[in-house]
Structure 1
Amino acid sequence: MRAKHAAPRRAHGASNRVRIIGGQYRRRLLEFPDGAGLRPTPDRVRETLFNWLGQDLPGWTCLDLFAGSGALGFEAASRGAARVVMIERDARALAALEKNRTLLATIPVEIVRADALAWLANTRETFDLVFVDPPFDSGQAGPVLADLVRHLNAGGQVYVEQATDVIAPPGFIIHRSGRAGRSHFALLVKE
């Protein structure tokens, strides 16, 4: 799912791990399987994102497309989101997401096995915040962003992470942006 900066570190054959950095489950470690391109958004970038968002998300509805490790979605749930929908198609990643949801007892997290683009095309649901972090260099962010305005509530925001500069499509403005290594990321706001 997420191909980022450097490959995840493994300690003596242990599973890959990502740490939740804020909220109710702060410091909890989540495990995720090896997989081509399955790498979570780094702590430093997640910290920047949630600083931009105001740290806590009480009552927000969130969508984590291309969920992968679930780092962004579980972080949102930890920070008080009322509902988080995670979309992932890889069976091993899905099993890890389910295990981590049980570990954290995160009731508001819904995990859906589906292709992100197909799911988005067939739903009418709307959200306050959408995470778009497709596999690195996949070029999938563009098609997702083109169809995303209709899935956002008034004032809705989209976090995008990809290998190239983020360009706001019609219906969005770039609120904040940054770069970490080869990854470019931005917070878009619905106009």
Structure 2
Amino acid sequence: MSERIGVYPGTFDPVTNGHMDIIQRATRVLDHLIVGVARNAGKGPLFSTEERVRMVEEDVAALKPNGTRIEVKPFDSLLMRFAVDMNASIIIRGLRAVSDFEYEFQMAGMNARLNPKVETVFLMASDRHQFISSRFVKEIGRLGGDITHFVSPRVADRLATRFAQDEDDQTKHVQTLKV
């Protein structure tokens, strides 16, 4: 039997407990999982690609991967090209709510047209993670809310540091304008 290689793509800005749940569960059906961190500058990520890769690597290191090899790699190409380059035959996608389904269904259809040899497998978010999104985590954290239930302690610390830096930068900018 050939090795089942899958790609779980995302921006992971930042990686959340919901992402990690999908990664852990994907290890039950794959022999080798590549977490593809999309550069996606168009989304205006809070963290650089390198920082996001590092955060995912650190959180993945804490998993028990059921014998599955997990790699984290950045990519900035078409997802299907990345999957082929990684010798993957499966794309893993997480679904949180019905609202995710329409977009993901369209994306899976487009990807199937681009390369019918690569299957998209949807994993439903666990009930305790269905409401988590990176966007909400950043918003809550930026406003001083408790995000420790949504991300690992490492990611929470990085967010706190980034928001403190942003606040310092804004204060310096305002002081410069007053001069």
| TM-score class, shorter | 0.3 to 0.5
Bigger radius of gyration among the two: 2
Greater RCO, CA 8 A, separation 6+: 2
The structure with the largest strand share of the pair is 1
The structure with the largest helix share of the pair is 2
Q: Given the two structures, how large is their TM-score scaled by the length of structure 2?
A: 0.40
